[in-house]
Amino acid sequence: MQSNNKADIIVEVAYALPHKQLIIPIKVNTGTTAEAAIRSSGILEKFPEINLAHHQIGIFGKPTRLDIPLRHLDRVEIYRPLIADPKVMRKQRAADKKRMK
């Protein structure tokens, strides 16, 4: 945690697995980037499978870059890679339904 300074802001860093999620609130300096907040949250030590070069991130569900400066009460979300392409899965389900008829 940073010192109690009027320039400090509170942000959250979030990561979720299918059956577990972690949201870590931290205090950082104004102008701190998403990457710096992720690193200072300690989440990379708790989930060593996170690779910031490959995992996408977002703020409240909107994809963003690691170098974006954060605002007070932002939630930085680290996204897991998709197991399957949603478009392909929808097409497959539609084809399965046709076959069943």
Question: CA-based angle 26:49:79, to the nearest 5?
Answer: 65
Among 97, 54, 74, 94, smallest CA distance to 14 is for 74
pLDDT class of 2 with cuts at 50, 70, 90: very low
Q: Where are the domains of the chain?
A: 8-100
Q: Which helix (H) or strand (E) holds 101?
A: none
CATH 3.90.1570.10 for domain 8-100, yes or no, is no
Question: Strand, coil or helix: what is 76?
Answer: strand
Q: Which of 29, 70, 23 is nearest to 47 (CA)?
A: 23
What would the pLDDT profile of 10-65 be if each residue is shown by its tens digit?
A: 999 999 988 889 999 999 999 999 999 999 999 999 999 999 999 999 999 999 99
Residue 17, Cβ neighbours under 10 Å: how many? 10
